[in-house]
Structure 1
Amino acid sequence: MPRPARYSVDTLLDVAAELLAAEGPSAVTMSAVARAAGAPSGSVYHRFPTRAALCGELWVRTEERFQEALIDALSEDRDDAQQRCVAGALRIVQWCRENSTEAQVLLAGPHELGLGDWPDPIAGRRKRLQRKLRKAMAGLPDEEGRVSAAVIDVPGAIVRRHLRARQSIPASAETIVADCARALIPPG
């Protein structure tokens, strides 16, 4: 029976996320991840052949987790588009508060994590995630980009300010994003 891996992909990605949150995207190197994990560099290279593969996996895993929460909120059994948008906007704030390290990964963005150099399978996973989110939002009537503003742009701007300042996201953020979503999306 083979011995279980001592340094799993998730363990190494968790370490990479912590490095990024503490020191920025440039801190995520193969040797830094190995050092911070207490792993031999071969363990990192065995799972991620390049830094681009490591960073791409970090981004895609984070985006998958984030979108799962957002799509769940947008898909909840509500007949009213406004209520669905408010739920989605609130979920973004809540997710970022509860997952502050991973929220820093989203704040960095895929370009800072070498998007152009990601291996094709990772880039393909990202494209599928983007299609999945578009499909979840397609059921909402989007006049002049109001849904995107209500669900993505406003909550993103609110949390971004606090994440960049390395502050906790205040409770008032929920009230702000909910009020904005209600103002942008008519009931019904």
Structure 2
Amino acid sequence: MVRPPRFDTDQLLDAAVRLAASGGPQAVTMSAVAQAVGAPSGSVYHRFAGRTALLAELWLRTVERFQQGYFAVLSGEPDPHRAARAASRHVVAWCRENPDEAVLLLYGAADFGRADWSEEHRRRADAGNGRIFEALAALAQALGARDEQDRDRVALALIDLPLTVVRRHLRAGSTLPPHAEDLTEQCTTALLG
């Protein structure tokens, strides 16, 4: 009878998140992940073909978890102004609830070796990003965005501004202030009128 594995994929990726949050993507190696969970290196290689696949799965799991909630907020509220405010708050709230994963998102896919990812990993990344960009474009249109400057204002309000609010705290390893969501929402409201 085959013995069930002691370490599942999520346990290994959780360890990789902690490594990347404290030391950046370069800290995520097969042996470091194995050591972090107390597993033999073979356990990591059994789940991931190599470091490139590990980094791809680490990035994708993190960004897909964020995008799932962000997409739900963007598309779940019929009033575009409320949806915009909720989306900007979601960025901060998600970072508060997932500080280690949020630190990973301060990097980009390129920092996690995207150039060397498999076609399937690149396809997953592109599909998730495409879905978010479509939802943002639809929201921008519902908000009355008519030109590039209007669309840039929406992107600033829903992406750049919330990330600016959290970036300093995440990089310093400090807790987000209790007013971060409110501040983000106020700035989003001011930008979108």
Please give the TM-score of this superposition, normalised by the length of structure 2: 0.91
What is the CA deviation profile of residues 59-98 of structure 1, one whole-angstrom value per residue up to 9, with x for unaligned ones?
A: 000011001111111122332x221111000000000000
**Partners of 1:67 and 1:144 in 2: CA distance:** 20
**Partners of 2:137 and 2:117 in 1: CA distance:** 28
Structural mapping, 1:41-52, within 5 Å: 41-52=41-52
**Partners of 1:38 and 1:172 in 2: CA distance:** 39
What is the CA deviation profile of residues 8-48 of structure 1, one whole-angstrom value per residue up to 9, with x for unaligned ones?
A: 11111000001111222211001100111111111111111
Contact 1:82 1:181 in 2 (8 A): no
Residue 134 of structure 2: aligned partner: 135
Structure 1 gaps of 5+ residues are none
SS of residue in 2 equivalent to 1:108: coil
SS of residue in 2 equivalent to 1:20: helix
What is the CA deviation profile of residues 151-186 of structure 1, one whole-angstrom value per residue up to 9, with x for unaligned ones?
A: 101001111111111111112211221111111213
The one-letter code of the counterpart of 2:20 is L
The one-letter code of the counterpart of 2:132 is L
Q: CA RMSD in A?
A: 1.3
SS of residue in 1 equivalent to 2:5: coil
Out of 170, 182, 188, the residue aligned to residue 189 of structure 2 is: 182
The structural deviation recorded for 1:5 is: 2.1
